[in-house]
Amino acid sequence: MKRLTDPIARVAATLIAAAVLPSCASIERDEVAAPPDGGSVEMRAGMPLVVSLPPDPSTGYGWVLQAASPNLALIGGPDYTPAPKPPGLVGVADTTAYRFRALKPGAGALEFVWVAPPGQPSPSPARTARYDVNVTPQLPSSYRDFLGPPGK
């Protein structure tokens, strides 16, 4: 490996590294996808969070939002999406999605419960999905401008 001995070349290499490394370490996505069975989620304020849960609406059972922290606003859902099923195949997973927006930094939580349709017995044991959400501050606008639009 060749060493940079020219002071101008060293300065140029340092400036290039300083410009490139932050963009590699700070990838901003359009939205955050939560794990399917609950768990921890890290995201920035202002970003959307998508929670996709496996329902079975053909039986009437499904997921219902039971609790949400004030810093997580529900902006969409529940939206049911059936998985494409080849003819004759049963048991292919479907999805119910809820969309939230992180309003401000801080700890938050979402809790969903699996409920029975009217007149049906409640599932036993009770099924829940809990998400512990840590919302960090937004990037300063100067960083967002430097990094460019999300997903690029």
* pLDDT digit string, tens, across residues 78-127: 887 776 666 665 555 678 889 999 999 999 999 999 888 888 887 777 78
CA distance linking residue 108 with residue 102, whole number of Å: 9
- Per residue in 18-44, pLDDT (tens digit) is 554 444 444 445 678 888 789 999 999
pLDDT value, residue 65: 95
Asked if residue 89 belongs to a domain, the reply is yes
Asked if residue 90 belongs to a domain, the reply is yes
Q: State the Cα angle at 33 between 28 and 37, rounded to 5°.
A: 150
CATH number of the domain enclosing 34: 2.60.40.2020
Domain count, the chain: 1
User: At a CB cut-off of 8 Å and minimum separation 6, what does 45 contact?
Assistant: 102, 103, 104, 105, 135, 136, 137, 138
pTM of the model: 0.65
Q: For residue 128, what are the domain limits?
A: 30-140
Displacement of CA 140 from its chain's centroid (Å) = 21
